[in-house]
Amino acid sequence: MPSVLITGATSGFGRAAAYRFAKAGWSLILTGRREERLKALEDELGSQVEVLTLTLDVRDADAIAQALKNLPEALLPLTCLINNAGLALAPEPSQKVALRDWHTMIDTNITGLVNVTHAALPLLIEHGAGASILNLGSVAGQWPYPGGHVYGASKAFVQQFGYNLRCDLLGTGVRVTDLAPGMAETEFTLVRTKGDQAASDALYRGTTPLQAEDIAEQLFYLATLPAHVNINRLEIMPVRQAWSPFAVDRDKT
């Protein structure tokens, strides 16, 4: 059976992807920090497919290297890595942001993604043709907006790291994609606003954001493309989201 390692499987895109890949019979390696949520997924999906849960913080390089070194043979070689764990913090302007929030985004979205990728690469290369690394980038990695600061920059890293990985992986058969969603309704905004449910509800109210299942469907599509096809970047927005005009600072009259 093909196997997929999903980081950040306890919520949002990662959780929806666990269900999507399980539906197709894939073996699952699910990670996140919230153990009780991982156990609930294992209880629910474990009767359909092989499920291994790893309670891990992607910022802990040693724990990740150790865990991936000791994967059961039945889950190897690894068919797909979904680098999904990530977060935005501090929607306010740069000059008002606490430095630790910038560090948390860099440590999670950049260092965490690099930690997992480094540990998983040998397992994907062993699989060869048909293996994939699917990285969750964002429209924020391409398009600037107020309050995007380090979050957007971290997603620009995800894109360029993926492109550079492709150069190094040429000849191994391992594919790399930057999947870059726009507005999607998950726990993302609750995390970004540090638990402000009203602010999260307000952002998604009166429009039609992407849902986690929309992204899970794209992840499954990418992972099951013919082995000779690599989509380098896939940007997806809800129909009801688009760009705005440039902002201009004007004299007060």
Ligand X SMILES: O=CCS(=O)(=O)O
Using CB under 6 A as the criterion, which residues of the chain lie in contact with ligand X when the complex forms? 138-140, 182-183
| Window contacting ligand NDP (CB under 6 A); options: 73-81, 180-188, 225-233, 243-251 | 180-188
Known catalytic residues?
A: 151
Contact assessment for residue 145 and residue 192, using Cβ atoms and an 8 Å cutoff: no
**Consecutive H or E run containing 157:** helix 149-169
- Decide: is 27 part of the binding site for ligand NDP (CB under 6 A): no
- 10 scored as a contact of ligand NDP (CB under 6 A): yes
The smaller minimum CB distance to ligand NDP, of residues 34 and 103, is found at 34
Among positions 125, 156, 183, 199, the unique one binding ligand NDP when judged by CB under 6 A = 183
Task: Round to whole Å and give the CA distance between 201 and 199.
Answer: 5
Pinpoint the alpha helices (H) of the chain.
12-23, 35-45, 61-69, 99-105, 113-127, 149-169, 188-192, 197-204, 212-223
Binding-site string for ligand NDP from residue 136 to residue 175, where x marks contact by CB under 6 A and - marks none: x-x-------------------------------------
List of E strands, 137-240: 175-181, 184-185, 210-211, 233-236
Binding site residues, ligand NDP, CB under 6 A: 7-8, 10-14, 32-34, 57-59, 84-87, 108, 112, 136, 138, 181, 183-184, 186-188, 191
